[in-house]
Amino acid sequence: MTIKFANMEACERLSDAMLANEADPEALALAWASYGESIANELRGEFAQYGRDIDAKAMESRGYRVLTANETAWYEKVIQAVKTAKTKQAFIEIIGTGDQDSLMPPTIIQDVFSDIQKDSPLLAAVSAQYVGYAQNFIVNDAAIQMGAWGEITAEIVKEIKGAIKVISMSQSRYTAFCIIPLDILDMGPQFVDAFIRSLMAESMRYGLEAAVVNGSGVNMPVGMMRNPDGAFEQETGYPEKDAVKLTSFAPDEYGVLLSKLAKTRTGRERAFDEVCLITNMTDYLTKVMPATTVQATVGGYVSNVFPFATKIIRSSAVPEGKAIIGLLDKYRLGIGGSRNGIEFDDSFKFLEDCRTFKAIQHAGGRAYDNTCFVVVDITDLDPAYITVRNVDAVPSV
């Protein structure tokens, strides 16, 4: 069971602030404060009703995690560090030493990402894995089938070497603010865990979805809307894909579009039985839904009518007027943990009775190649209709 704390109004305010085209740091800070306070208020109510001495089984039934011994010990150190007058120095001494026993237990990040996948169909569908504290992860980027009968030649060794691609996560660091009301600390490790994980999950979901969809590759994953085989620029990252105009999902037009996914960048045939179409909710309701819904002869409507198996995923990270069509299992996402998980920060001085921190997450990701996803322009999608062929029509004279 995944526990939910924040109210809808606070979630919407945070969503608007994080997805704004031009981020306003002050608006984002206030949205985070409001979001954190909504979680804190729910926790205060739970604590007032059940208290610190509620047994573990009852806590679990309420949606709280039963902490391991390592997790409990780590949270107790964090609580003490936050309470001290010299918080920053306490963090350096307690969780900044590099001692393995002092690091955030990886089970916390694993459970946070598990919660995110339950709420995000997009992140649940990509090929994601937790890679611990690794700085890099390796993918097989083979363009052709490797190996040969007979002797091993230098050319085969070269092919094998060229098929290994290393994705760095050391610079791909996602940071969100973690604002902890001081009274939450007195509730104990389980309540602090619930608070921190709720904040981390929400911030990571927005950040990861945005990066997976359109990350530039500059200190972040390479998004599906980018060309991972294109020329990398230090400032702007990988080039954006050109959008292909799509006016209908008729078999002849849709089939030609999907054929772009049927071969790798070197011409190797690729077989697949389903594709995913990713679009935002507004475009789904105003463009995709009308283009994939027809009225049956008995009067009802049949929805999601495609000539090829297509799964629709809605994500607010996709810009209006566009959609992504492709193979989500061909996108590799590696999730790693920061060594300490949260770091002391003193950016927001205006928050009273709170301590502000940074929640840290490392991630790296990219598609296997440029042929795994197609960006389409759906601004002129035609509504679907049933075509009737009249074979007995009398030819005109």
| pLDDT at site 349 | 47
DSSP letter at 286 equals I
Residues 61 and 145 in one domain: yes
Tell me whether residue 31 is exposed, middle or buried, using C-beta atoms within 10 angstroms of its C-beta: 0 to 12, 13 to 18, 19 or more.
Answer: buried
Residues 156 and 301 in one domain: no
Residue 143 inside a domain? The answer is yes
What average pLDDT does range 209-222 have in this prediction? 89
Q: Per-residue pLDDT tens for 20-56?
A: 655 566 676 677 677 777 777 878 887 887 776 666 6
Residues 307 and 344 in one domain: no
Nearest residue to 190 (alpha-carbon basis) of 41, 67, 37, 74: 67
Q: Which residue has the higher pLDDT, 198 or 250?
A: 250
Residues 12 and 98 in one domain: yes
CA–CA distance, 322 with 241 (Å, rounded to integer) = 11
CA–CA distance, 269 with 136 (Å, rounded to integer) = 29
CA–CA distance, 346 with 328 (Å, rounded to integer) = 39
Among 75-84, 224-233, 300-309, whose mean pLDDT is lowest?
75-84
pTM exceeds 0.85 for this model = no
| pLDDT at site 161 | 46
Residue 385 inside a domain? The answer is no
CA–CA distance, 333 with 92 (Å, rounded to integer) = 31
Residues 317 and 352 in one domain: no
| pLDDT at site 156 | 47
Q: Residue 12: helix, strand or coil by DSSP?
A: helix
Strand partners, 278: 313, 324
CB 204 within 8 A of CB 342: no
CB 371 within 8 A of CB 230: no
Residues in the chain: 397
Residue 384 inside a domain? The answer is no
Residues 77 and 206 in one domain: yes
Percent of all residues in the chain with a pLDDT value above 70, rounded to a whole number:
62
Q: Per-residue pLDDT tens for 112-147?
A: 778 788 888 998 899 887 766 555 656 555 544 444
CA–CA distance, 188 with 18 (Å, rounded to integer) = 30
At a CB cut-off of 8 Å and minimum separation 6, what does 318 contact? 213, 278, 279, 280, 283, 324
pLDDT at 155 over 60: no
Q: Residue 315: helix, strand or coil by DSSP?
A: coil
Residue 388 inside a domain? The answer is no
Task: Count up the domains in the chain and report the number.
Answer: 2
Residue 230 inside a domain? The answer is no
Looking up residue 254, the CATH number of its domain turns out to be 3.30.2320
Average pLDDT score, the chain: 76
Residues 257 and 203 in one domain: no
Residues 13 and 87 in one domain: yes
CB 228 within 8 A of CB 222: yes
Residues 317 and 340 in one domain: no
Q: Which residue has the higher pLDDT, 384 or 54?
A: 384
CA-to-CA dists, residue 271 to 321, 326, 376, 388, angstroms:
29, 12, 21, 32
Residue 182 inside a domain? The answer is yes
Tokens of 164: 């290994």
Strand partners, 275: 310
Q: Which residue has the higher pLDDT, 310 or 148?
A: 310
Residues 19 and 164 in one domain: yes
CA-to-CA dists, residue 182 to 67, 86, 193, angstroms:
21, 14, 14
What average pLDDT does range 57-61 have in this prediction? 70
What average pLDDT does range 213-232 have in this prediction? 91
Q: Residue 41: helix, strand or coil by DSSP?
A: helix
CA atoms within 13 A on the CB side of 137: 21
CA-to-CA dists, residue 333 to 108, 138, 144, 215, 224, angstroms:
18, 11, 22, 12, 12
DSSP letter at 367 equals E
Q: Which residue has the higher pLDDT, 115 or 292?
A: 292
* Residue 325 banded pLDDT, cuts 50, 70, 90: very high
CB 184 within 8 A of CB 192: yes
Q: 233-252 burial string, b = 16+ CB within 10 Å, else e?
A: eeeebbbebebeebebbeee
Residues 294 and 186 in one domain: no
DSSP strand pairing (244-245 vs 373-377): parallel
CA atoms within 13 A on the CB side of 304: 7
**Residue-wise DSSP of 76-129:** HHHHHHHHSSSHHHHHHHHHSS--GGGSPPHHHHHHHHHHHHHH-HHHHHSEEE
Report, in angstroms and rounded to the nearest whole number, the Rg of the chain calculated over CA atoms.
25
Residues 291 and 348 in one domain: no
- What is the domain extent for residue 218? 8-223+331-367
Q: Per-residue pLDDT tens for 162-207?
A: 455 666 555 566 766 666 777 887 888 888 888 877 777 777 777 8
Residue 57 inside a domain? The answer is yes
Residue 383 inside a domain? The answer is no
